[in-house]
Structure 1
Amino acid sequence: MMITLRNITVWDTGEAIDLIVPETDARRFFHESDCVGDGEIDATGLTLAPGFEDPHVHFRDPGQTYKESMVSGCAAAASGGYVNVLIMPNTVPAMDGRKVTPDEPGAAEVLGAGYDTVIDFLQHYDETHGTALPVRYDLCVCASKGRAGAEATDVADWQWYRRGVDEAAKDEAQLAHPVTAISDDGSAVPAAILDEVLANAERTGLYLIEHCEHHDTGAVNEGPVSRRLGVPGIPEDTELRIVERDIEAARRTGVHVHFQHVSTAISFEAIRRAKAEGLPITCETAPHYLALCDEDLLRYGTLAKMNPPLRSAEDRLATIAAVADGTVDMLATDHAPHTIDEKNLGFLEAPNGIIGLECAYGVCHKVLVEGGHIDDRRLIELMATAPARLLGHHPTDITAMLDETDRDPRPAGRRVLDLTAVEHPETADLVLLATDERWIVDPERFHSNARNTPFGGWEVSGRPLATILGSRLVFSRIPDSRIIR
């Protein structure tokens, strides 16, 4: 069984090729169409690109699987065109490398699977749960023990799980899902332990992923909207203070600091200056800071409550400008599943965050590409190749694979990329994009367990039609109308 995609366009060269995909990996396959077996597909007008990678997701497993499990989270990722994600450490128990104790919330899931740390539990998820997840994933370890902010984690508890350490002694799952970063995502690393956390990063060769926001009170952006809602506000400089502090720390130590979900004009300006100085600083923003501002709270309520909060309309435009001028290195979803009941608790009690994996490309394409700020190629760089480099991965080089398997055009005038013939088919991680397709976001059709998004009902442009992992089709919504035979 195999599928041949005729006349598909390579994302970075514009070359039209044919693509041969071997049989579907049935163990991992999720689909929204019947296009899963032998056949030829008319892929005219479609784009082939390296699969998306997301350096910022929350899958709530273990401890809160009623919100999202590894299975539902990875299905959502595959549906959104993602082939790799970085799982944040705010699991329950927290992913700090320490052995869990039976009395901790969530410990029963870890211990019941036969493991005593969250890292081991997640690394061996497939085998202990009898599944084959359709997305690759790395792990991010806590900066502080229990993410409590009081003591830095002990390197001895997690350094063995890093990429490149004692690999001959590790099993396949441990090699596939290494610890690659440090973070206390959800809150900034406290000043009292920052130097120790940076020393841990320097010692282990990891980088610090910093939640560049800290506030003790407030629920939404401080300004006219917070006053209209009668809700305590969060000043914009709460983000800037962490950004400036950590830029100085990077200057002092040389440790790579990656800022998550940057949202304000003043923070972007500080990051621009740091990059001009040559400091080891990178940053991301998220689709919601490009598409929404605090005025949208009046329409969407707590479905648009997040941390950092949605900022002013001016900050939204500054975020778009920071993407356009290259200050923003990549886009990340900050996929944060919650139940609708939790989100209905009101602004003071509702948890922060929205889900984003399944509509991120469409939202970003609508705002950034249709909006005339960047082109399709740049959006793919922001969602695929740039985050891959941050995570230490090698995005699939489509042209190199073509040169390996078929240097000369066939009689049809197109070269053929045959994924059954490449030397390392396990490295072919790809996404098939309909860059011009317009579609309506329907959360009820999401593969995620959660529905907490303000984008329900939005008409967006650009849609992932298929995801290929290790040369095998793991997700498809290719319409039947494209089937040739």
Structure 2
Amino acid sequence: MPTLRNIKVWNTDEVIDVKVPLAADALLEGERSGADGFDALEIDATGLTLAPGFADPHVHFRDPGQTYKESMVTGCAASASGGYTDVLIMPNTVPAMDGETIVDRDAPGADEVLSSGRNDVIDFLQHYAADHDVTLPVRYDLCVCASKGRAGHEATEFEHWRRHMPGVADETKDADQLAHPVTAISDDGSAVTPATLDAVFALAKESSLPLIEHCEHHDTGAVNEGPVSRKLGVPGIPEDTELKIVARDIAKARETGVHVHFQHVSTAGSFEAIRAAKAEGLPVTCETAPHYLSLSDEALLTYGTLAKMNPPLRSEEDRKATCEAVADGTVDLLATDHAPHTMAEKELGFLDAPNGIIGLECAYGVCHRTLVDGGYISDERLIELMSVEPMRLMGHEATDVTALLDRETDASREPDAKRVLDLTQVKDTVGIGLVVLDTSGEWTVDPDAFHSKARNTPFGGWKVTGRPLATIIGGAMVFSRL
């Protein structure tokens, strides 16, 4: 098995050795890719960091229904490549992930689900690996739709997906269903509509799941309203389209006690409202994404539709306010909003190109360059934002490296001897998720080398710092570029 010598624990600076078996289907990159004997290597990990695996509560894998953009296989591979051990899959699949039984086989995406022997998208995704005879190198939870079909007309029915929640006893649940529970509610891609607002908040309260809200709504416009939109001659989206949803849902959180988590917050006004709500003690949290930290709407002039997203990139003042919101703790976590599209779709122009970019495979580097190198936060805080806090939102605990060491270290060793974490000897490895990081190395983002099917990113060619070098799940190395 590979042995990592002299690696540093992320939050204590203790230097340890780690013995970790190589997963049978591990993805290997670099000069050792496919090399015989990799699992017997002793690797000098001096200067590298061992941290809890990253978690992303905001990804789109396009499976079922749009697998020409991404699939469960390629999305999970991209996750492992980016250092992610856990993700939350958003419900804008085709058909939508609303728990409803599929009755129209001719509907888009329906045949994919029914041909696998499943009757709804939740069951389809929970049993994906077994039904497709594949190994998926990331753990994933599911986010159920707030409204039926994500149409915004009628809230989903709790009884159609209640049994898929964690902790709900059901003798018919198998291991795959237990491994991939429903842990949140959202209509991501659009905000909860006024017509369903009360019912969706009641649903969130009854289920005790967080409402993950796409806090932005507009009926017209393609990019942020301002000098850039006017220069491009493209209809603009006013900034207050985000704040209106944030203010509305803060009021509902105050009224109901429901935990509202605001996605991809991007404006100074929204952060001010969220700060005030937190100071009031309301159950609200929020995230932002690497692109809102590192790009303003000026990027549209350079990258074109590769920088088109929803919410749109905002002004430079808003970008700086987003970084400050991370620094002062207003932002609880970072998420990628990994949104794969084909390059042909992205070349349709500002009015017709779909919103979104991919982000899993360069998120750490982009955030490290912007936030750590930029002096806003420490290396340790960035790991918290990308691992500890996202796991908490999903109802899980990030792997505590020191606690694992304390539990597994041989008590008979010399008191001052370097400790060894031998994952082959750990009895319960199910919850283990770790990432090996080079927190200082510089590298260049190359979308052509991504494991994702998609290439729609403005970060191609960027020189960034900090890179995941190996991903460990369940006690085995599932990805390595060591």
Give the TM bin, normalised by the shorter chain: over 0.9
1:167 is displaced (CA, Å) by 4.6
Match of 1:470 in 2: 474
Match of 1:483 in 2: none
Classify the secondary structure of the residue corresponding to 1:25. strand
How far apart in 2 are the matches of 1:301 and 1:398? Answer: 43
% identical equivalent positions: 70
What is the total number of aligned residue pairs between the two structures?
A: 476
How far apart in 1 are the matches of 2:28 and 2:45? Answer: 20
Match of 2:73 in 1: 71
Alignment of 1:112-151 (within 5 A): 112-151=115-154
Match of 2:86 in 1: 84
How far apart in 1 are the matches of 2:149 and 2:361? Answer: 30
Match of 2:440 in 1: 436
Classify the secondary structure of the residue corresponding to 1:456. coil
How far apart in 1 are the matches of 2:105 and 2:303? Answer: 40
Give 2:158's match in structure 1, choosing from 138, 155, 159. 155
Give 2:385's match in structure 1, choosing from 379, 382, 385. 382
The alignment's TM-score, normalised by the length of structure 1, stands at 0.97
RMSD: 1.2
Match of 1:317 in 2: 320
Match of 1:245 in 2: 248
**Contact 2:86/2:139 (<8 A) preserved:** yes
1:422 is displaced (CA, Å) by 2.1
How far apart in 1 are the matches of 2:414 and 2:25? Answer: 34
**Contact 1:60/1:69 (<8 A) preserved:** yes
Tell me whether 154-163 or 321-330 shows the greater mean CA deviation.
Answer: 154-163
How far apart in 2 are the matches of 1:16 and 1:407? Answer: 16
How far apart in 1 are the matches of 2:453 and 2:426? Answer: 36
Give 2:25's match in structure 1, choosing from 17, 24, 27. 27
How far apart in 2 are the matches of 1:133 and 1:65? Answer: 16
Structure 1 residues 152 and 459 mapped into 2: Cα distance closer, same or farther (>3 Å)?
Answer: same
The AA in structure 1 aligned to 2:120 is: T
Structure 1 residues 476 and 167 mapped into 2: Cα distance closer, same or farther (>3 Å)?
Answer: farther
How far apart in 1 are the matches of 2:456 and 2:82? Answer: 16
Classify the secondary structure of the residue corresponding to 1:473. strand
How far apart in 1 are the matches of 2:170 and 2:379? Answer: 38
How far apart in 1 are the matches of 2:283 and 2:430? Answer: 32
Classify the secondary structure of the residue corresponding to 1:261. coil
How far apart in 1 are the matches of 2:31 and 2:50? Answer: 19
**Contact 1:27/1:131 (<8 A) preserved:** no
Gaps of 5+ in 1: 479-485
**Contact 2:99/2:161 (<8 A) preserved:** yes
The alignment's TM-score, normalised by the length of structure 2, stands at 0.97
1:32 is displaced (CA, Å) by 3.6
**Contact 1:303/1:343 (<8 A) preserved:** yes
Classify the secondary structure of the residue corresponding to 2:364. helix
Classify the secondary structure of the residue corresponding to 1:362. helix
Alignment of 1:266-345 (within 5 A): 266-345=269-348
Classify the secondary structure of the residue corresponding to 2:25. coil
Tell me whether 24-33 or 242-251 shows the greater mean CA deviation.
Answer: 24-33
Tell me whether 267-276 or 188-197 shows the greater mean CA deviation.
Answer: 188-197
Give 1:223's match in structure 2, choosing from 215, 221, 226. 226
Give 2:425's match in structure 1, choosing from 416, 421, 424. 421
Tell me whether 449-458 or 423-432 shows the greater mean CA deviation.
Answer: 423-432
The AA in structure 2 aligned to 1:466 is: A
**Contact 2:5/2:42 (<8 A) preserved:** yes
The AA in structure 2 aligned to 1:472 is: A
Q: 2:11 matched to 1:12?
A: yes
How far apart in 1 are the matches of 2:430 and 2:99? Answer: 29
Match of 1:404 in 2: 407
Q: 2:234 matched to 1:234?
A: no
Tell me whether 402-411 or 65-74 shows the greater mean CA deviation.
Answer: 402-411
**Contact 2:28/2:481 (<8 A) preserved:** no
How far apart in 1 are the matches of 2:105 and 2:82? Answer: 36
How far apart in 1 are the matches of 2:372 and 2:334? Answer: 14
The AA in structure 1 aligned to 2:277 is: A
1:170 is displaced (CA, Å) by 1.0
1:370 is displaced (CA, Å) by 0.4
Give 2:455's match in structure 1, choosing from 435, 438, 451. 451
**Contact 2:163/2:170 (<8 A) preserved:** no
**Contact 1:5/1:18 (<8 A) preserved:** yes
Q: 2:259 matched to 1:261?
A: no
Match of 2:178 in 1: 175
1:3 is displaced (CA, Å) by 1.1
1:469 is displaced (CA, Å) by 0.5
Classify the secondary structure of the residue corresponding to 1:466. strand
Classify the secondary structure of the residue corresponding to 1:76. helix
